[in-house]
Amino acid sequence: MMRLEKSLQAWGTPEFIEVLKREIAQLGAAYLPLQQGLVTGNYVADAPLTVMIHSVTESGEVIRIKAGIFYRGVLGGCSCTDDPTPGSDINEYCAVQLDMDKSNAVTAIALVE
């Protein structure tokens, strides 16, 4: 589990979406299910993420966020001298759902199929 404390502090303000996008982007592949979301690449590239918020709803003690994440994947070749497919970065996208507890900012995240 992770905590989105800055986002929770911004909840209810006009800055909430921007704070949320920055905080999610800073999490990186360590907390986000980017590897599971790969469609073309073999592994997640070490590159900045772009986050797009699709929806935010409040239900009881949970803030539910649906977001899209744009990132880079790497398609690696065998690195042989005559390999015609050297490693290359590929644009990737996945959708995630984040459920943030309003009392402590603990946030569960799941890949949306």
Could you give the CA distance from residue 92 to residue 69 in angstroms, rounded to a whole number?
8
Q: Can you give the pTM of this predicted structure?
A: 0.86
Query: Is 86 a residue whose pLDDT tops 80?
Result: no
Mean pLDDT of 89-98: 94
Query: Is 79 a residue whose pLDDT tops 70?
Result: no
Nearest to 51 by CA among 71, 72, 30: 71
Residue 81 lies in domain: 2-112
Task: Write the pLDDT tens digit of every residue in 23-62.
Answer: 999 998 889 999 999 998 888 998 899 999 999 999 999 9
CATH number for 16: 3.10.450
Q: What is the pLDDT of residue 67?
A: 98
Alpha carbon separation from 68 to 22, 43, 52, 71, 83 (Å, rounded): 13, 18, 5, 10, 34
Total structural domains within the chain:
1
Grouping H, G, I as helix, E, B as strand and the rest as coil, residue 21 is helix
Mean pLDDT of 60-88: 80
Could you give the CA distance from residue 89 to residue 35 in angstroms, rounded to a whole number?
14
